[in-house]
């Protein structure tokens, strides 16, 4: 949150910001921009298996494909520099 890696509806947020239902959260982690829509907030803590009931993953597949390309390009340049 402090570095602007978490945004709600396109605006960077502070760590103390409360999250409400029907908000889109953009999280940048490991060079992937995850887009998650919060459907509802549970009344109590829930287990990891039940989290998908309260969120919807809207991350485009292109984000994951871009990381694959980055991985292959890093491997290519590492091999060339070691020869």
Q: What is the pLDDT of residues 24-83, one digit of tens each?
A: 999 998 888 999 999 999 999 999 999 999 999 999 888 878 877 777 666 666 665 555
Between 9 and 79, residue with greater pLDDT: 9
CA distances (Å), origin 68, targets 14, 21, 37, 60, 75: 31, 32, 24, 14, 11
Between 4 and 39, residue with greater pLDDT: 39
Give the pLDDT score at 79.
63
pTM: 0.71
């Amino acid at each position: 949150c402090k570095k602007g890696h978490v945004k709600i509806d396109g605006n960077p947020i502070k760590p103390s910001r409360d999250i409400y239902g029907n908000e889109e959260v953009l999280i940048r982690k490991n060079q992937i921009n995850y887009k998650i829509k919060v459907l509802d907030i549970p009344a109590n803590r829930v287990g990891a298996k039940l989290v998908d009931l309260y969120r919807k993953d809207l991350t485009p597949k292109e984000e994951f494909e871009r990381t694959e390309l980055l991985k292959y390009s890093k491997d290519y340049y590492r091999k060339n520099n070691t020869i």
